[in-house]
Amino acid sequence: MANTFKSDPIEFKPAEAKPAPDSTVGIVAWMRGNLFSSIPNAAFTILIMLGLANVIPDIIDWMFISSTWSGANQDACVGDGACWVFVKAWSQQFFYGSYTTDQIWRVNLSLILLFVVIVMSFTLPASYRLKVSVPLFLVLPFLCIAILDGRLVGLEHVNTDFWGGFSLNVLMAAAAIIVAFPFSFLWALGRRSDMPLARSISVVFIEFFRGVPVLALFFMGSVMLPLFFAEGTNVDKLVRVWIVLIFFMSGYMAEVFRGGFQAIPSGQYEAADSIGLGYWQKTLLIILPQVIKVSMPNILATFVMLFKNTVFLLIIGIPEVLQTLLTALSNSNWLGGHAIEGYVFVGVIFWLCCFGMSMLASNIEKKLDTSHRN
């Protein structure tokens, strides 16, 4: 072939890449494309902007300009705006509940451990990411409980009655979703199974926990669950709601996993079969890791939902952050009506956490989009 070309070949130079024309990039183009693309759209945009122009200055004034930031008690609240002194004075309660003050480092340690394990599960080299982070995740809830409780690790015992605040919301949600993980995987497998019994049990379970409102589940947990435990055993209230959250969560996550299973091409099963892997080897070594990967964005979305639902724990008297806020609002030293500040504060911290997780989820989704094709 090569020697059929007698003369020197002409050298091929690819044309240089040019930047896209201005009209398709930049903020002006974005606004033209998204906000003013048609007359109704433009009218709507202007209406919304007028509305915002009306409210935003007032909000900013209330939150930042006329607000009070310094002081130690209600007497400092004299301005027209928000009195953040209230939030400041109660901040330890809001975050840590009544946890023994000089032991609060243990709560922080638990939160840091949680954070580190989460970061590790996204940043470790891919070749051993799952092998390391899955076991870490599974021991984490029990490690945190041991640290917070103290008895097993030789620290001062802090009764669960004193656990509370926003850290309890975070740790409850995390501990529930982690333990729910293996269960939901089994339910999802059951729902896909060829065995009619396994399938119907899974369907009933999943649909029950997805269909009943979480509030009703919490009531059942605090009233009915004790009936199942042996007489005389007094199972901690937190453990009972933990169990409820786990069941609730595994119903939802089972459906997330089912979606993940459907995304795995049948060729993966066939390849695993043709090597001679057994059912559990195939499921755990080949299918599960891929299901987790494609389900990650939905797992995070489900977690956000669970996390927000933890405020319902106040209904059964668990001092999570909202319950703590209600306590603070009814405190006789703070009867000046700080409800708005309190709710804004709780709203903002929830929003920050949830928004962060949503960003993470969409980030992962984008990465999946580019890396999962092969």
Partner 1 sequence: MSTESKVADSVEDTIIIKDLNKWYGDFHVLKDINLTVKKGEKIVICGPSGSGKSTTIRCINRLEEFQRGSLIVNGVEMVEDVKNIEAIRREVGMVFQHFNLFPHLTILENLTLGPIWVQKKPKAEAEEIAMKYLERVKIPEQADKFPGQLSGGQQQRVAIARSLCMSPQIMLFDEPTSALDPEMIKEVLDVMVELADEGMTMLCVTHEMGFAKKVADRVIFMDAGEIVEQNTPEELFNNPQTDRLQLFLSQILDH
Residues that bind partner 1 (CB under 8 A): 126-127, 130, 265, 267-268, 270-278, 281, 285-286, 289-290, 293, 371-374
Q: Which is nearer to partner 1, 19 or 125 (CB)?
A: 125
320, β-bridge pairs: 165
Q: What is the dihedral of CA 269, 272, 276, 277, to 10 degrees?
A: -90
Q: Which is nearer to partner 1, 249 or 288 (CB)?
A: 288
Closest separation in Å from C-beta 273 to partner 1: 6
Closest separation in Å from C-beta 271 to partner 1: 4
Closest separation in Å from C-beta 162 to partner 1: 43
Closest separation in Å from C-beta 127 to partner 1: 6
Q: What tokens were used for 354?
A: 């949830």
Q: Which is nearer to partner 1, 133 or 250 (CB)?
A: 133
Q: What tokens were used for 303?
A: 């977690």
Closest separation in Å from C-beta 3 to partner 1: 20
Q: What tokens were used for 188?
A: 């999802």
Q: What tokens were used for 251?
A: 């119903």
Q: Which is nearer to partner 1, 58 or 270 (CB)?
A: 270
Residue 64 to residue 42: CA distance in whole angstroms: 32
Residue 223 to residue 315: CA distance in whole angstroms: 13
Closest separation in Å from C-beta 125 to partner 1: 10
Which of 250, 252, 283, 255 is closest to 269 using CA atoms? Answer: 283
Closest separation in Å from C-beta 137 to partner 1: 17
Closest separation in Å from C-beta 270 to partner 1: 5
The 10 Å CB-count burial string (b at 16+, else e) for 213-236 is ebeebbeebbeebeeeeeeeeeee
Closest separation in Å from C-beta 24 to partner 1: 31
What is the helix, strand, coil percentage profile of the chain, to 5?
75, 0, 25
Q: Which is nearer to partner 1, 266 or 332 (CB)?
A: 266
Residue 202 to residue 200: CA distance in whole angstroms: 5
Q: Which is nearer to partner 1, 101 or 374 (CB)?
A: 374
Residue 288's CB is within 10 A of a number of other CB atoms, namely: 20
How far does CA 186 lie from the centroid of its chain? 21
Q: Which is nearer to partner 1, 74 or 290 (CB)?
A: 290
Kindly state the helix (H) or strand (E) to which residue 130 belongs, with its residue range: helix 126-149
Closest separation in Å from C-beta 290 to partner 1: 6
Q: Is 247 helix (H, G, I), strand (E, B) or coil?
A: helix
Q: Which is nearer to partner 1, 147 or 299 (CB)?
A: 299
Residue 120 to residue 116: CA distance in whole angstroms: 6
Cα–Cα–Cα angle for 168, 169, 170, rounded to 5 degrees: 90
Q: Which is nearer to partner 1, 101 or 127 (CB)?
A: 127
Determine contact, residues 148/106, Cβ cutoff 8 Å. Answer: yes
Q: Which is nearer to partner 1, 3 or 127 (CB)?
A: 127
Q: What is the dihedral of CA 81, 85, 87, 92, to 10 degrees?
A: 170
State whether the Cα torsion 353-356-360-366 is positive or negative. positive
